[in-house]
Amino acid sequence: MKGKFGISVLLALCLVMFVGPGSALADEDDEVAAAGVEGTARADKLDACVAPTAFMRRNHFELIEHQRDITVHEGIRKTDNSLAGCIDCHVRHDAAGQYVPVNAQGEFCSACHEYVGASLDCFTCHATKPTGTE
């Protein structure tokens, strides 16, 4: 029988393995980041995510895993539940207008993962802020 967090840790580790065309490697400057300004993320202006908030809090890792399987195993690159899409929508800006990595202390991904005691291994390989032009 799997532990309470066993499946989420397993899924996070599986996500680390996915780095393909269009994915960016983790940013080197993510170690030092300024605090994000409330209301500067695209998600801050929306009423709901790709699914209701309660569902996303409980199941986001399953959506990301499913997206990974479709992309890696079937070669289909759609963006319905991509990690890059999550980053693009939930990343905040600092007071200078620069992106603040989502895994920086107190930011979107790290805040929840710290709260529930789950590891956040995705960004060992994946970018923590959008890599395209602003």
Return d(Cα 79, Cα 120) in angstroms, integer.
21
Return d(Cα 30, Cα 129) in angstroms, integer.
9
User: Contact at 8 Å (CB) between 42 and 89?
Assistant: yes
Handedness of CA 129, 118, 12, 90 (dihedral sign): negative
pLDDT value of position 68:
81
pLDDT value of position 1:
39
Structure tokens, 103: 């895994």
pLDDT value of position 119:
87
Residue-range domain boundaries for the chain: 6-13+37-124
pLDDT tens digit at each of 134 positions of the chain: 344 444 444 334 333 333 333 334 344 444 444 688 998 999 988 888 888 888 988 888 888 888 888 888 888 877 677 888 888 889 999 999 999 999 999 898 898 888 888 888 888 888 899 887 54
Return d(Cα 119, Cα 126) in angstroms, integer.
15
